[in-house]
Amino acid sequence: MTPTTSDTTNRRHTSHWGAFTAAVQNGKLVGVTPFEKDSDPATYLKSIPGAVHSEARIAGPVVRKGWLENGPGGNRESRGAEPFVAVSWDNALDLVADELRRVKRDFRNESIMAGSYGWSSAGKFHHARTQLHRFMNCFGGFTGQIGTYSTAAATAIMPHVVGTATAALAGTSSKSISDHAQLMVCFGGLPLGNMQSAVGGVGDHDTLRWLREARANGCEFVSISPIREDMAEFIQAGWLQPKPNTDTAVMLALAHVLATESLHDEGFLSSHCVGYDSFERYVLGESDGQPKTPEWAAAISGTEADAIRSLARRMSSTRTMLTCTYSLQRGDHGEQPFWMVVVLAAMLGQIGLPGGGFAMGYGSIGVNRDAARDLSVPILPAGRNPVESSIPVARISDMLLHPGEPYQFNGMDCRYPDIKLVYWSGGNPFHHHQDVNRLIRAWQGPDTIIVNEPWWTATARHADIVLPATTSLERNDLSASAGDRFVMAMQKSVEPVGDARNDFDIFLGLARRLGIAEAFDEGRDEEAWVRHLYDLTHRFAAQRGVELPGFDAFWEQGFVEIPPPAKPFVMFDDFRSDPEEHPLRTPSGKVEIFSEKIAGFGYDDCPGHPVWQEPVEWLGAESAKRYPLHLISNQPSARLHSQMDQGSVSRDTKIRGREPITMHTDDATARGLADGDIARVFNDRGEVLAGVAISDGILPGVVALATGAWYDPLEPGKAGTLDIHGNPNVLTLDKGTSKLAQGPAAQSALVEIDRYDGVLPEITVFSQPTVIER
Ligand SMILES: Nc1nc2c(c(=O)[nH]1)N[C@H]1C(S)=C(S)[C@@H](COP(=O)(O)OP(=O)(O)OC[C@H]3O[C@@H](n4cnc5c(=O)[nH]c(N)nc54)[C@H](O)[C@@H]3O)O[C@H]1N2
Ligand SMILES: Nc1nc2c(c(=O)[nH]1)N[C@H]1C(S)=C(S)[C@@H](COP(=O)(O)OP(=O)(O)OC[C@H]3O[C@@H](n4cnc5c(=O)[nH]c(N)nc54)[C@H](O)[C@@H]3O)O[C@H]1N2
Ligand SMILES: [Mo]
Q: Are 23 and 13 in contact (CB under 8 A)?
A: no
Q: How high is the pLDDT of residue 690?
A: 98
Pick 254 or 375 by higher pLDDT.
Answer: 254
CA 14 from chain centre, in angstroms, equals 19
Q: How far apart are CA 211 and CA 534, in angstroms?
A: 33
* Strand runs labelled E in 83-163: 84-86, 112-113, 144-146
pLDDT tops 70 at residue 1: no
State if pTM tops 0.85. yes
| Cβ of residue 194 lying under 6 Å from some atom of ligand 2 | yes
pLDDT band per the 50, 70, 90 thresholds, residue 169: confident
Report the separation in Å between the CA atom of 711 and the middle of ligand 3, taken as the mean of its atom positions.
18
For 289-314, write each residue's pLDDT tens digit.
999 999 999 999 999 999 999 999 99
Closest listed ligand to the CA of 365 = 2
For 482-526, write each residue's pLDDT tens digit.
778 899 999 999 999 999 999 999 999 999 999 999 999 999 999
Report the separation in Å between the CA atom of 624 and the middle of ligand 1, taken as the mean of its atom positions.
30
How much is the average pLDDT of 591-598?
98
| Cβ of residue 230 lying under 6 Å from some atom of ligand 2 | yes
Percent of the chain with pLDDT over 90: 92
Q: What is the mean pLDDT of the chain?
A: 96
Q: Three-state SS for 758?
A: coil
Per-residue 3-state assignment (H helix, E strand, C coil) for 679-744: EEEEECCEEEEEEEEEECCECCCEEEECCCCCCCECCCCCCCCCECCCCHHHCCCCCECCCCCCCE
Report the separation in Å between the CA atom of 148 and the middle of ligand 3, taken as the mean of its atom positions.
7
The CA-CA-CA angle for residues 349, 605, 419, to 5°, reads: 120
**Protein residue with least CA distance to atom 16, ligand 1:** 432
Q: Are 703 and 632 in contact (CB under 8 A)?
A: yes
Pocket perturbation via mutation, ligand 2, pick of 151, 432, 634 by most ligand atoms within 8 A of CB: 634
Q: How far apart are CA 598 and CA 159, in angstroms?
A: 11
Q: How high is the pLDDT of residue 481?
A: 84
pLDDT tops 70 at residue 372: no
Strand arrangement of the beta sheet that strand 11-15 belongs to = 11-15, 18-25, 28-34
Report the separation in Å between the CA atom of 674 and the middle of ligand 2, taken as the mean of its atom positions.
26
Q: Are β-strands 750-755 and 629-632 bridged in parallel, bridged antiparallel, or unpaired?
A: antiparallel
Q: Check 17, 44, 67, 117 and give the catalytic one.
A: 117
* Least confident span in 205-209, 228-232, 653-657: 205-209
pLDDT tops 80 at residue 9: no
Closest listed ligand to the CA of 18 = 2
Atom of ligand 2 nearest to the CA of 364: 17
Q: Are β-strands 629-632 and 702-705 bridged in parallel, bridged antiparallel, or unpaired?
A: parallel
Q: Are β-strands 320-324 and 183-187 bridged in parallel, bridged antiparallel, or unpaired?
A: parallel
Q: How high is the pLDDT of residue 5?
A: 45
Q: How far apart are CA 585 and CA 167, in angstroms?
A: 12
Q: How high is the pLDDT of residue 482?
A: 76
| Cβ of residue 148 lying under 6 Å from some atom of ligand 2 | no
**Protein residue with least CA distance to atom 39, ligand 2:** 188
pLDDT band per the 50, 70, 90 thresholds, residue 373: low
Report the separation in Å between the CA atom of 197 and the middle of ligand 3, taken as the mean of its atom positions.
10
Atom of ligand 2 nearest to the CA of 747: 32
Q: Check 119, 210, 423, 756 and give the catalytic one.
A: 119
Closest listed ligand to the CA of 475 = 1
Q: Are β-strands 406-409 and 412-415 bridged in parallel, bridged antiparallel, or unpaired?
A: antiparallel
**Pocket lining for ligand 1, CB < 6 angstroms:** 118-121, 126, 128, 149-150, 330, 425-428, 431-432, 452-455, 457, 469, 472, 503, 633, 640-643, 707, 728-729, 732, 746
Q: How many CA atoms lie within 13 A of 180 on its CB side?
A: 19
Fill in the DSSP letter of residue 627.
S
Q: How high is the pLDDT of residue 3?
A: 46
**Protein residue with least CA distance to atom 19, ligand 2:** 327
Q: How high is the pLDDT of residue 565?
A: 81
Nearest to 374 by CA among 127, 170, 157: 170
Closest listed ligand to the CA of 325 = 2
- DSSP percent split of the chain into helix, strand, coil, nearest 5: 35, 20, 50
Q: Is 117 a catalytic residue?
A: yes
Fill in the DSSP letter of residue 473.
G
Percent of the chain with pLDDT over 70: 98
* Least confident span in 221-230, 566-575, 720-729: 566-575
Distances 21 to 100, 376, 497, 774 between C-alpha atoms, Å: 40, 22, 19, 40
| Cβ of residue 375 lying under 6 Å from some atom of ligand 2 | no
Q: How far apart are CA 305 and CA 297, in angstroms?
A: 7
For 51-109, write each residue's pLDDT tens digit.
999 999 999 999 999 999 999 999 999 999 999 999 999 999 999 999 999 999 999 99
* Nearest-10 crossing angle of helices 247-260, 276-283: 100
Q: How high is the pLDDT of residue 563?
A: 83
Q: How high is the pLDDT of residue 170?
A: 77
Q: Are 634 and 191 in contact (CB under 8 A)?
A: yes
The CA-CA-CA angle for residues 527, 531, 536, to 5°, reads: 150
Q: Name residues whose C-beta falls within 8 Å of residue 658's C-beta, 6 or more positions apart in sequence.
A: 678, 689, 690, 691, 709, 724, 725, 726
**Protein residue with least CA distance to atom 27, ligand 1:** 427
Q: How high is the pLDDT of residue 215?
A: 98
Q: How far apart are CA 157 and CA 237, in angstroms?
A: 29
How much is the average pLDDT of 315-323?
98
How much is the average pLDDT of 258-265?
98
Distances 378 to 18, 130, 375, 561, 571 between C-alpha atoms, Å: 19, 12, 9, 16, 23
Residue 655: what are its φ and ψ, rounded to 5°?
A: -110, 115
Sign of the CA dihedral with 703 first, then 708, 709, and 713 last: positive
Residue 123 one-letter amino acid: G
Q: How far apart are CA 325 and CA 432, in angstroms?
A: 18
Q: How high is the pLDDT of residue 686?
A: 98
pLDDT tops 90 at residue 430: yes
Q: How high is the pLDDT of residue 361?
A: 93
Residue 90, burial from CB neighbour count under 10 angstroms (0-12, 13-18, 19+)? exposed
For 660-695, write each residue's pLDDT tens digit.
999 999 999 999 999 999 999 999 999 999 999 999
* Strand runs labelled E in 281-427: 320-324, 357-358, 390-392, 406-409, 412-415, 421-425
Q: Three-state SS for 762?
A: coil
Q: Is 44 a catalytic residue?
A: no
For 525-535, write each residue's pLDDT tens digit.
999 999 999 99
